[in-house]
């Protein structure tokens, strides 16, 4: 069995382990030019990864190299005469260029004793190298990918050693690297899976050529990757605007004392290139921001917005912005703007199964696929995560380096590995974003009782109890808290269900009778038999067939007398039903609904 890798330990020390990944052909530059360049970069305080053990003839990039590329802010590719003769170097280059296309990874080519045209067109020494690869029966598809990567990297332009001293050449490279690093201003996770198509779609919108002010909303439930996508888009495109700003944690900041003014100051400081700004109140900030944005084409990202008022107060009148400016908003629902205000909406969906397994594996094993012997465990756990990147990262990191027994238990009871509640804390943010208490109650009712039931059936029940609002279901759908399947059934992701039920448990962790909802049949029977119910209980379900007992259940009417606020009652296969129907005194204490009667 392959050894477990403690991935969390090696990746969580800092956002990026390296500033620069140095790609080079060791045989002809390690002990001279590249060695001197490496020392110069290190001396300038630029953390540089240099592979000390080049593997000749390797057909695939090893874990160490892959990890180093992903944890570096940029790559420096030194092209020398023998660079293309190494399949290892070409595979390295291919990964570097793919990362550039995916997340805007910075790449700087350096041409050491070779002409950039030879690299681009594979002539000279590069033609000889490819002829050798063909003779060795290399896969044509691999070779074409290498050729394309060489063409693209040569087009990026970079320092060329011609008639000048190497020492000066190296210093020029170090200066250029310093400039490049300042452009990567937002940290994104080193392992980005499944975001390329999402980023490409938004990038196309940014470059649509329109003179109008554009607004886009990235929406999806908590943890699905909205912020990561927004950061990636920002990193790739901010330099094409006159000014730019990325405002983090808008929801949280705006709820703080003077929070909106803090956001305005940050925005104005960014737009005016770091000059400190004095703003005394929101109205004053609006005027200053409008003046600053009126004459510059800007890119502004507001991350985690949950109310239109936040956008209005921070940005002001969007129509007054300079032509071609773009605003990107991340939110948990797509209906943030007024109906008459045009905007682009980009729904951020969960990852597919293959993407989920890959992301999970990077965090659990430090590679694209699970270690041998852990495939089945991983598949079960990944299925439980339902494609939520943040959840996959949390669970993968939690399992890294754990024993086989722990993995087995986690795959059987996935909730056990979330012992400190990280996942539920993340998902609870979407619940907290529901401003109307009736919408929160609707979410909890569905989480506890109605998953898998027909939407119209549930609506009729809740209307009888005064629990239902016409807009309630749609609000939950907008926030990705529930979905409606093709059979009109209410569906909710298991993690969201668990989050909702945990919210109810926390109402009274130790006293079942003081919780608003009792969905577990054994819990309901326990408080009814012991007459432990209180006026806190609003909803209760009890089905004899689902109890952990074969004894017939017979309830006394007085078991319900303390539950004066009980409005929703589902009893099935319980002998007390008839007696309760005949007991008029009970009807004065509670309004009860027998679900089966509604469907007859």
* CA–CA gap between residue 60 and residue 88 (Å, rounded): 7
In a domain, 2, yes or no: no
- C-alpha span between 72 and 90 (Å, rounded): 18
Residues 36 and 144 both lie in one domain = yes
Residues marked active site are found at 92
The per-residue pLDDT for range 312-322, each reduced to its tens digit, is 889 888 888 89
Give the pLDDT band (50/70/90) at residue 93.
very high
In a domain, 6, yes or no: no
Q: Does some domain include residue 54?
A: yes
Whether residues 328 and 240 share a domain: the answer is yes
Same domain, 281 and 409: no
- Tokens in use for 27? 């045989």
Quick one: 404 and 438 in the same domain?
A: no
Query: Distances in Å between the alpha carbon of 280 and those of 248, 250, 575?
Result: 21, 19, 69
Read off the CATH number of the domain in which 167 is found: 3.40.50.10140
Bridge-based pairing of strands 490-491 and 483-484 is antiparallel
Query: Are 23 and 169 in the same domain?
Result: yes
**Contact indicator for 102, 190 with CB cutoff of 8 Å:** no
Select from 507, 536, 555 the last residue of a domain.
507
pLDDT of 590 reads 36
Of 300, 316, 347, which one is at a domain's C-terminal end? 347
The partner residues of 111 in beta bridges, in order of sequence, read 79, 160
d(CA 199, CA 229): 6
When pLDDT is cut at 50, 70 and 90, the band that residue 201 belongs to is: very high
Of 317, 347, 377, the one marking the end of a domain is 347
Inside any domain, residue 189: no
Same domain, 171 and 26: yes
CB of 523 closer than 8 Å to CB of 512? yes
Domain containing residue 128: 18-181
**Domain assignment of residue 12, yes or no:** no
Which 3 state secondary structure label does DSSP give 563? coil
Q: Between these two residues, 577 and 521, which has the higher pLDDT value?
A: 521
Helix (H, G, I), strand (E, B) or coil at 477: helix
Q: What angle do CA 417, 419, 424 make, to 5 degrees?
A: 95
pLDDT tens, position by position, 399-457? 888 888 888 887 876 555 555 666 777 677 778 778 788 889 999 999 999 988 888 88
Instruction: Return the percentage of the chain with pLDDT > 70, whole number.
Output: 82
Q: Whole-angstrom Cα distance, residue 105 to residue 72?
A: 9
Question: Which residue matches tokens 């409606």?
Answer: 484
Query: CA geometry: angle at 460 spanning 458 and 462, to 5°?
Result: 70
Q: For residues 369 and 339, state if they share a domain.
A: no
Q: Give me the CATH number covering residue 301.
A: 3.40.50.300
Do 232 and 366 belong together in one domain? Answer: no
Q: Which residues contact 49 (CB under 8 A, 6 or more apart)?
A: 17, 18, 20, 21, 22, 68, 72
Asked whether residue 115 carries a pLDDT value surpassing 80, the answer given is yes
User: Both 218 and 169 in a single domain?
Assistant: no
Flag whether the pTM goes above 0.75. Answer: no
Mean pLDDT, rounded, for 341-370 = 88
**C-alpha dihedral sign at 570, 576, 578, 580:** negative
68 in any annotated domain: yes
Number of separate domains in the chain: 5
pLDDT band at 3, cuts 50/70/90? very low
475 and 359 share one domain: no
Sheet holding 48-50, edge to edge: 48-50, 18-23, 72-79, 106-111
Is pLDDT above 70 for 596? no
- Confirm whether 246 is domain-assigned: yes
In a domain, 8, yes or no: no
302 with 415, same domain?
A: no
Which pLDDT does position 582 carry in this prediction?
47
Based on the fold, state whether residues 278 and 161 are members of the same structural domain: no
Report the SS3 class of residue 306: coil
């Amino acid at each position: 069995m392959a050894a477990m890798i403690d991935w969390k330990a090696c990746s969580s020390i800092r956002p990026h382990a390296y500033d620069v990944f140095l790609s080079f052909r060791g045989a002809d530059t390690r002990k001279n030019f590249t060695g001197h360049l490496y020392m110069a970069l290190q001396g300038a305080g630029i953390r540089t990864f240099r592979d000390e053990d080049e593997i000749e003839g390797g057909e695939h990039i090893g874990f160490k190299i892959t990890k180093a590329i992903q944890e570096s802010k940029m790559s420096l590719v030194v092209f020398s005469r023998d660079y293309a003769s190494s399949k290892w170097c070409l595979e390295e280059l291919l990964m570097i260029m793919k990362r550039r296309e995916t997340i805007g990874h910075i790449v700087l080519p350096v041409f050491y004793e070779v002409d950039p045209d030879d690299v681009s067109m594979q002539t000279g020494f590069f033609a000889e190298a490819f002829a050798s690869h063909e003779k060795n029966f290399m896969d044509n598809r691999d070779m074409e990918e290498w050729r394309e990567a060489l063409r693209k990297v040569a087009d990026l332009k970079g320092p060329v050693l011609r008639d000048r001293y190497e020492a000066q050449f190296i210093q020029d490279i170090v200066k250029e690297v310093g400039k490049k690093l300042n452009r990567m201003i937002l940290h994104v996770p080193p392992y980005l899976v499944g975001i390329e198509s999402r980023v490409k779609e938004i990038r196309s919108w940014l470059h649509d050529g329109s003179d109008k002010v554009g607004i886009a909303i990235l929406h999806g439930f908590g943890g699905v990757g909205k912020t990561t996508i927004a950061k990636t888009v920002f990193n790739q495109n901010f330099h094409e605007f006159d000014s730019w700003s990325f405002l983090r944690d808008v929801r949280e900041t705006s709820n703080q004392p003077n929070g909106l003014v803090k956001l305005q100051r940050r925005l104005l400081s960014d737009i005016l290139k770091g000059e400190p700004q004095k703003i005394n109140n929101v109205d004053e900030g609006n005027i200053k921001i409008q003046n600053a944005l009126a004459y510059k084409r800007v890119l502004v990202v507001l991350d985690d917005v949950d109310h239109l008022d936040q956008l209005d107060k921070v940005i002001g009148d969007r129509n007054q912005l300079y032509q071609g400016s773009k605003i990107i908003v991340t939110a948990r629902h797509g209906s943030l703007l007024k109906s008459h205000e045009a905007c682009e909406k980009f729904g951020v969906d969960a990852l597919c199964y293959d993407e989920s397994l890959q992301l999970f594996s990077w965090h659990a094993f430090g590679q694209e696929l699970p270690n041998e012997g852990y495939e089945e465990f991983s598949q079960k756990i990944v299925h439980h995560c339902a494609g939520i990147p943040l959840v996959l990262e949390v669970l993968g990191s939690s399992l890294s380096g754990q024993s086989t027994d722990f993995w087995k238990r986690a795959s059987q009871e996935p909730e056990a590995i979330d012992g400190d509640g990280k996942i539920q804390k993340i998902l609870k943010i979407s619940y907290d974003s529901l401003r109307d208490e009736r919408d929160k109650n609707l979410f909890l009712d569905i989480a506890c009782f109605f998953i898998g039931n027909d939407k119209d059936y549930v609506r009729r029940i809740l209307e009888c109890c005064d629990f239902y609002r016409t807009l309630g279901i749609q609000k939950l759908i907008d926030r990705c808290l529930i979905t409606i399947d093709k059979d009109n059934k209410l569906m909710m992701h298991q993690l969201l269900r668990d989050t909702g039920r945990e919210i109810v448990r926390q109402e009274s962790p130790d006293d079942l009778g003081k919780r608003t909802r009792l969905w577990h049949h054994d819990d309901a029977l326990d408080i009814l038999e012991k007459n432990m119910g209180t006026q806190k209980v609003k909803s209760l379900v009890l089905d004899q067939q689902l109890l952990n007992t074969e004894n017939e259940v017979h309830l006394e009417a007085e078991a319900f007398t303390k539950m004066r606020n009980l409005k929703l009652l589902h009893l099935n296969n319980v002998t007390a039903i008839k007696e309760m129907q005949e007991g008029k005194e009970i009807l004065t204490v509670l309004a009860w609904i027998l679900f089966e009667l509604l469907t007859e």
